Amino acid sequence: MADAFSPPKLFVSYAWENREHRLWVKEIAVRLRLDGVEVLLDQWELAPGDELTAFMEKAVRDSDAVLVVCTPVYKAKADTRAGGVGYEGSVMTAELATGAPRRKFIPVLRRGEWKDSAPSWLLGSVYVDLRATGLELEEAYSDLLNTLHGRREAAPPVGSPPFPMSQPSEDLFEESDTRSTGTPDPPEEYPFILVRMLRTVAYDPETIELARGWLLRSDPETPSWSHVWNALIHVSPGDHEILELGRHWLLQTEPGNPAWTYVWNALMEVVPNDPELQELGRRWLLRG
């Protein structure tokens, strides 16, 4: 019997700078909870009469990770140790000083430039950029979610050389070219170039055909497959074959996949009255 799923516990540290920012933080927290993360948010956890500092200390200490929402206001308060943000900053740096792993504190950039928004103690850290919209935001959110669930892509194992080390490599390339009868695999960066071209270049039939060909011959379980499909359906929404590829991907993919809702939403924009898609959306809402 498989082990029961234990959701990672995440505390969100942010500045109460305005209502719009508080709502954005709550929306991210809701989405993370729906995607299997136990989020601790002061807006849900605290009631009048509770001791704020005790809550902060326990939340930082007991959580598996802390999401630090960086903005210029957050930086100003953290660096001057002002208010609740300043106190949380003291607690977090104390945790680091007493042996907590640096990866426990995950910075996300919500507003401004990194140097103007990150507290001094986080400036040298890798961060997740959540300022974007559309596909770029979905990619950043997937990166955050995979980090929290401990399923970031790992390097493949190192294999043996495919040829005798004494044989000159240029000769091997020449032999390979004469023996090859198929189309060589595109480089790893190929799908990302396709997405960028589809999103930024005016309607280009040649790029569309390249993207279509890549989708048809690539494994749909490849993480970049849904990204290329999404970019292609937005420039060629009337393409029945591409629509069916997306529908098939939805049916074969677990709704827990971070890209599932993005593919479903793109299909619904093109065929909003499709009963099968409506039923899939209904099942997604009821899956919990």
Per-residue pLDDT of 249-286, as tens digits, reads: 888 888 777 778 878 888 888 888 888 888 888 887 77
Termini Cα distance of the chain: 21
Alpha-carbon span 253 to 230, nearest angstrom: 15
Instruction: Locate 262 and state its tokens.
Output: 């993005």
C-alpha 61/C-alpha 91 separation (Å) is 8
Higher pLDDT, 186 or 221: 221
Angular region, 150: left φ>0, alpha ψ -120 to 50, beta rest: left
Which secondary-structure segment (H or E) carries 94?
helix 83-97
**What's at 53, amino acid-wise?**
T
Cα–Cα distance for residue pair 92/86, rounded to 1 Å: 10
Judge whether residue 198 has pLDDT over 50: yes
Single-letter amino acid code for the residue at 187: P
The pLDDT, as a whole number, for residue 78 is 94
The residue length of the chain stands at 288
Question: Which 3 state secondary structure label does DSSP give 131?
Answer: coil
> Token match 């001094």: residue?
120
The DSSP symbol for 158 reads P
Closest among 250, 201, 190, 199 to 224, alpha carbons compared: 190
The model's pTM is: 0.57
Q: What is the pLDDT of residue 54?
A: 94
Q: What rounded mean pLDDT belongs to the chain? A: 84
Distance, in Å, from the CA atom of 168 to the CA atom of 161, rounded to the nearest integer, reads 13
Structure token pair of residue 209: 């055909």
Sign of the C-alpha dihedral, residues 256, 262, 268, 274?
Answer: negative
Residues 243-257 have pLDDT tens digits of 888 888 888 888 777
> Residue 52: pLDDT above 90?
yes
The tokens for 25 are 């933080």
Tell me phi and psi for residue 231, to 5 degrees.
-65, -40
